[in-house]
Structure formats: structure tokens, C-alpha cells
Amino acid sequence: MPAALPDSAIYGKLMGDAEIGRLFTDAAEVRALLLVEGALARAQGAAGVIPELSGTFIHRAAMEVQIDPAGLAEGVAESAVIVPALVAAFRKVLDAPEHAPYVHWGATSQDIMDTALALRLRQAIAIMEARLARTIGALGTLAETHAETPMAGRSYGQIAVPTGLGAMVADWGRPLLRHAERLEALKPRLLRVQLAGAAGNLSAMDQGPAIRAALAQALGLHDPGGAWHAQRDSVAEFAAWLTGLSASLAKMGHDMVLLTQTGIGELRLASSGGSSTMPQKQNPVLPSVLVALGRHAAALNAGMQGAAIHGQQRDGAAWFTEWLALPQLVIGTGRALAIATELAEGVVPDAAAMRAGLDPDGLGLIGAEALSFALARHMPRPEAQAEVKALCKRALAERRPLPDLAAEAHPEADLAAAFDPARQLGTAPDEARAFARAAREAASAAD
């Protein structure tokens, strides 16, 4: 088994995300770091902190030079961070001794790396936002279309009472709307520059706060107003957001696994996997991947939350732990969103199977609760419950339908509604349509 499934030539299309994964390659990291170094030099040159000509030259060169990531490996193995080796390589390739000393003026490695990470996370978030919106839209359409499609509601894996397919879809979609809102609030706290120097006080940089503000403006990031080297709450918050979203998508996947299983078959997937030995198998592969990615996200998030505990002004071990977990968490969540979009747009409900699922044994037991409330109009509720429980036992023992037994016991009562699933949906249709409206409103607001 490869060490990292998202990067595997074998497993990458299953567990990886090429579009987001490219943001976490060695080449992408080097490019982002150079962009930050160039923008920093330009801001410092404009402010007179370094010669303006040097700032302009470094900025232009940072966008044009090519540095081989493999050539930085020895330096990283020695110092743990990429920036010293990158700066040395950049200065060498500049071949401009009058400008090279001003590269990385007054900054520390973490300044450049955290800012470069923010640039790449911004791109990843834009991709995820588009996928999330598309998934919500598809679920909204599905919920509205099937607002009044009855199906069995299940509790502990057992048939409980009738509900609507649209309401179940709304249960998948409503958390996604909340995740979208949370992300919008989180972005200003996450997508920030880092420029604070060795111990967070910009002691080696003249006009430090002004340079930080100018750097933020140049890169389209937020100015945090100070150092966040050892304040990782926003990174931890983002990790928790990714994990929560992955969990919500995994819930949808888990439900789809259950609803496509043999004997239920209330949903059909647009694509499924086969077995190496059993020709009849139609495995719910993509829903299962959603569940696996949700569990993996939870494991990675544990590391991310622990990594938020940084000691003093800088903490290498805690920071390195972020490197191990965060890229995998972002890529996994991106893949989960891509799968969720495909499933939401391609799933096919089987209304006939849902009708059959309402009464799989022909005994009408799904109407038991409704029957107890119907009888409670004529007798105390505890007595009604006790009588219906006894009737259910008789239905199972004698294999006679509960509606027939109830009609025999209470010929004077009109109990038909209790056994009509379409009349026992409660608020399910309204909930489905309310979610569909909210999905449309979210799409309109995004436009």
C-alpha cells in the first residue's frame, strides 16, 4: 500500500483530488514562497526600507525564475524549513550581487511559509466553495422533486414511521448550508499574511506594521495586525471546519450505502463498483469512500487540534505536525466534495422500492404509532399504547395485518388515515421544500 493514497498512481483517482492536490506539490510550494518573497521586497522597496530598484528587481525575478525543488532537500534536512535553502538558491539564480542581499529582508522563515500557505488555501477554498454550492443545488432539486415521496423512516436500523425522501435529502443538505456560512465567517481569520520576524515583534524591520499592511494588500490577504506564529486557532478552526464538512458528507454516504443494500434498494447510483468474483455485485463504492474520508478527516483533525498547542514565540514540533496533517485534510475534503456532487446529481430514487419498504412483511406495522394516537382520541393514551402493542404482537404471531386486527377491535373507528403513509408524512414535505428554497437563496446570494 502506498504511503499517501492521494498521491498514488494506483489509488489517486479514488482517494485523491488532482485539482486541489496540485496546490500541495513541491513546485506549488516553491512558486508560492517566491511570490511572497517578491511581494515583500516590492513593498519594502516602495517604502524605502530597501532600495526601490532592488525591490522591483526582486519582485519581477520572483515571478520568472525557476528553482528545482529537489535541489532544496539537503538544506531542508538540515534546518527543517525550506526558506533558508530557497533564499540561497534564489540569490544565486538572481546573479545580481547589488540586489540579492535584500531578498528576505527582516523576515523569518515562518513569515514566508505561513503567507504562502494562505495563498494556496485561498485557491483550495475557492474550489471547495464551488463544489459545495453545486452539491447544495443538486440536493435542493432532489428534495423538492421528492418532497411528497413516502419512504420508511428508520431508527436503530428498524422501520419506525413514514417520512419523505425529500426530508431525508434535506437532512443531508441543511448542514452543508451551515458549513458554507461558517466558511464565509472563517476566511478573514484564516487568509492572512504572516509578517512578524524572528520573535513576533518585527524588531529587524523598519516600518514593519506598514510593510505588513502593504504586503497584505498586494497579495489580496488580510492584515492580522500582529504575529500569529504561535496562535494557531484559525488554522485549527479551519481543520475543524474541514472535518465537520467531511462528517456531514460521510453521513450522506452512509445513508446511501444503507439505502442501496440488497433487500432495500431504495436508491440507485449512477455508477457502482463490481466484485472480482461475484458477477451480481453492484458495490456502492463512492458512498463508501465518503464514509472513509470522513473517518480519516476525524483522525487528522485530532493531530491538528493538538498542533494548536505552540510553545513560546515559535514551536517547530507543533508547526511540523500541521505540515503532516493539513494538506491531507484539505485534499481529502476536496475529494469528498467532488464525490458528493457526483452522487447528488446522479442518484436515482426508486419510488416503488420505497413503497415496498413501508410494509416489507405486509403486516402494516409502520402504522402502529399513528394507530395509538388515533385510539387515544377515544381512550387514555397509556391504554391506547398498551392495546396497540398487544395488537402488534398478535400481528407478528398470527401473521395477520395490523390494520385488519385494529378494524376488528374497533369497527366503529375510522382508522384508515393511520395506515396511509401519504397522510402520515407530518412536516416532511414542508422541510424538504424549505431546504430547497434555502438552497436556491444561497445560490442567488453567491451569484
CATH code where residue 413 lies: 1.10.40.30
> Three-class SS of residue 283?
strand
Cell 525591490 belongs to: 55
Residues 155 and 259 placed together within one structural domain of the fold: yes
Last residue of a domain, one of 50, 80, 105: 105
Residues 286 and 309 placed together within one structural domain of the fold: yes
Residue 419 domain flag: yes
Residue 28 domain flag: yes
- Tell me how far CA of residue 369 lies from CA of 148, 389, 398, 406, in angstroms: 20, 10, 20, 13
At 344, the amino acid letter reads A
How much is the pLDDT for 314? 87
Residues 132 and 59 placed together within one structural domain of the fold: no
Last residue of a domain, one of 105, 131, 147: 105
Residue 10 domain flag: no
Q: Strands, DSSP E only, in 189-290?
A: 267-268
At 154, the amino acid letter reads R
Residues 277 and 374 placed together within one structural domain of the fold: no
Residues 84 and 177 placed together within one structural domain of the fold: no
How much is the pLDDT for 273? 56
pTM as predicted: 0.94
At 244, the amino acid letter reads G
Rg over CA atoms, the chain: 29
Residues 270 and 333 placed together within one structural domain of the fold: yes
At 307, the amino acid letter reads A
Residue 8 domain flag: no
How much is the pLDDT for 96? 94
- Assigned C-alpha cell, 136: 447544495
How much is the pLDDT for 283? 83
Q: Which residues are catalytic?
A: 275, 314
Crossing angle of helices 52-64/26-47, nearest 10°?
A: 160
Residues 44 and 101 placed together within one structural domain of the fold: yes
Residues 146 and 95 placed together within one structural domain of the fold: no
Residues 384 and 240 placed together within one structural domain of the fold: no
Residue 217 domain flag: no
CATH number, domain containing residue 58 = 1.10.275.10
Q: How far apart are the first and last CA of the chain?
A: 43
Q: Is 121 exposed, middle or buried (0-12, 13-18, 19+ CB in 10 A)?
A: buried
Note whether 94 and 61 are within 8 A (CB): yes
Residue 101 domain flag: yes
- Assigned C-alpha cell, 223: 492584515
Note whether 252 and 294 are within 8 A (CB): no
How much is the pLDDT for 277? 42
Last residue of a domain, one of 88, 105, 122: 105
> Three-class SS of residue 277?
coil
pLDDT tens over the chain, length 447 residues: 778 888 888 889 989 999 999 999 999 999 999 999 999 999 999 999 999 999 999 999 999 999 999 999 999 999 899 999 999 999 999 999 999 999 999 999 999 999 999 999 999 999 999 999 999 999 999 999 999 999 999 999 999 999 999 999 999 999 999 999 999 999 999 999 999 998 899 999 989 999 999 999 999 999 999 999 999 999 999 999 999 999 999 999 999 999 999 999 999 998 655 443 444 547 889 999 999 999 999 999 999 999 999 999 888 899 999 989 999 999 999 999 999 999 999 999 999 999 999 999 999 999 999 999 999 998 999 999 999 999 999 999 999 999 999 999 999 989 999 999 999 999 999 999 999 999 999 988 877
How many domains is the chain partitioned into structurally? 3
Sign of CA dihedral 222, 246, 304, 123: negative
Residue 37 domain flag: yes
Residues 29 and 166 placed together within one structural domain of the fold: no
CA distance 300 to 282: 31
Residue 259 domain flag: yes
CA distance 423 to 367: 11
At 248, the amino acid letter reads S
Residues 32 and 135 placed together within one structural domain of the fold: no
- Among residues 172, 332, 168, the alpha carbon closest in space to that of 243 is found at 332
- Among residues 234, 210, 187, 211, the alpha carbon closest in space to that of 36 is found at 211
How much is the pLDDT for 173? 98
Domain range for 375 is 360-423
How much is the pLDDT for 281? 45
Residues 165 and 249 placed together within one structural domain of the fold: yes
